[in-house]
Amino acid sequence: MPCVEGVTGRRVKVVFILAWLLVASLFIFHASLLFEVAWQIRVFVPRLMLHLGPRSAGKAIILGCFVVLLFAHLAEAMAWGLLLWRAGLAPSFSEGVYFSATSMTALGYGDVVLPPPWRLLGPLAAISGLLMFGCSTAFLFVVIQAVWESQR
């Protein structure tokens, strides 16, 4: 196999395959989480309404969704960070999380950049992250809309 700056083509393939598997796993995780939160809302709304009243229940539901989605996105950034760190592409776990979080949010400071054979991992993390943020935004919109409708 030819070497690119001391990196074998086989290693590049393995890391990119792992990255694609991570993307697929994170999409499954994120979609499953959204469906689970939706299910839990349907199950617990009557109890919350009974104990807290409609206004407080709505606030609790929205706050709960924000917290769950915040931790989901943090976990997804940490999964990317772990991959980058274990593959030797980031000097530390925290540096990998930082790079992945700035990529996933399209913030992209550019102060941490992957070397040439690995640069495509940044856009891959960004595209998958933006899709997941978009799904979270749509989900929150539906939840907030449902809470507002129930307030009428």
pLDDT digits 0-9 by tens, 6-41 = 578 899 999 999 999 999 999 999 999 999 999 999
* 8 Å CB contact between 112 and 99: yes
Distance in angstroms (rounded) separating the CA atoms of residues 148 and 36:
21
Digit-coded pLDDT (tens) for 78-128: 999 999 999 999 999 999 999 999 999 988 888 888 888 899 999 999 999
CA dihedral of residues 36, 17, 20, 93 (deg, nearest 10): 80
Closest to 126 measured CA to CA, from 71, 67, 80, 82: 80
Quote the pLDDT of residue 3: 42
Distance in angstroms (rounded) separating the CA atoms of residues 130 and 122:
12
Question: Quick check: 61 pLDDT over 70?
Answer: yes
Tokens of 16: 């990119």
Distance in angstroms (rounded) separating the CA atoms of residues 52 and 147:
14
Quote the pLDDT of residue 124: 94
Which DSSP state fits 107?
A: -
